[in-house]
Amino acid sequence: AQRVTQPEKLLSVFKGAPVELKCNYSYSGSPELFWYVQYSRQRLQLLLRHISRESIKGFTADLNKGETSFHLKKPFAQEEDSAMYYCALSGDPGGYQKVTFGTGTKLQVIP
Amino acid sequence: DTGVSQDPRHKITKRGQNVTFRCDPISEHNRLYWYRQTLGQGPEFLTYFQNEAQLEKSRLLSDRFSAERPKGSFSTLEIQRTEQGDSAMYLCASSLGLSGYTFGSGTRLTVV
């Protein structure tokens, strides 16, 4: 079974402070991991995927297989980063099959 | 192509009635997914299609739920004899290759 755990429902940080949104996963094979974001009144959208090793809007995430974690980080939070963030996992290398989502963390950036 | 479209945006229905939702994916995407999201939870997988073939169904999808994608383009999700527990946001997504999912805005169902 595949499972994604996001331990924080709400994370509040001041503008300019570093951000780390935690994500742990449970999967027996080699998963593909994603972060999705939902801004207020917008649809859920892909932020980044671990296989791409990219930085989007200043966010990065490193897959740590030993700790089964995929934490999302940004060195300096901006007000426009306030949103709901979902960590997600697919057991399929291409991410084609079902993706399992965590319960989400609401990031609130305080001006 | 303006992305994934879902219709209607909102649906209020009485318990016991049938409802049907429609999803139009991005035209070149061959995979289509249905998810359900309730308050405070992440999206939960319901089912997915590759072209017109329904390849996986979640145990969440009881016998009252049925999904189709008749020509490998748009998809419908029908819920028969709705119950209050069916109240949720129903999300559709599509994908092609390694691009990840593109989600629609969802259909919010309220069963009264």
DSSP letter (8 states) at residue A15: T
Question: Which amino acid is present at A93?
Answer: P
DSSP letter (8 states) at residue A66: T
Give the end-to-end CA distance of chain B in Å, rounded to a whole number. Answer: 35
pLDDT in tens, B38-65: 998 999 999 999 889 998 888 888 899 9
pLDDT at A91: 79
Judging contacts by C-beta atoms under 8 Å, the chain B residues touching residue A86 are 42-43
A5/A56: higher pLDDT:
A5
Whole-number average pLDDT of chain A: 91
CA pseudo-torsion sign B51, B56, B57, B58: negative
Q: Which of residues 57-96 of B touch A (CB under 8 A)?
A: 58, 91, 95
Phi, psi of B20 (to 5 degrees): -135, 135
Residues A44/A104, Cβ–Cβ less than 8 Å: no
A41 to chain B, any CB pair closer than 8 A? The answer is no
pLDDT in tens, B69-101: 998 899 999 999 999 999 999 999 998 866 678
pLDDT in tens, A27-76: 888 888 999 999 999 999 999 988 777 778 999 998 898 999 999 999 99
pLDDT in tens, B2-26: 799 999 999 999 999 999 999 999 9
pLDDT at A2: 85
pLDDT at A96: 60
User: Cα(B35)–Cα(A51) distance, rounded to whole angstroms?
Assistant: 23
Residues B52/B32, Cβ–Cβ less than 8 Å: no
Q: Which of A96, A100, A103 to probe the B interface (max B CBs under 10 A)?
A: A96
Chain A nearest-CA distance from B1, in A, is 16
B98 with A103: Cβ contact below 8 A? no
Residues A31/A92, Cβ–Cβ less than 8 Å: no
B56 to chain A, any CB pair closer than 8 A? The answer is yes
Q: Which of A86, A96, A103 sits opposite B95 (nearest CB)?
A: A96
Q: What angle do CA A88, A94, A97 make, to 5 degrees?
A: 60
Q: B97 to chain A: nearest residue by CA? A: A94
Is the model's pLDDT at A95 over the cut of 60? no
Residue B69 DSSP SS3: coil
CA pseudo-torsion sign A65, A66, A69, A72: negative
A96 with B106: Cβ contact below 8 A? no
A16/B51: higher pLDDT:
A16
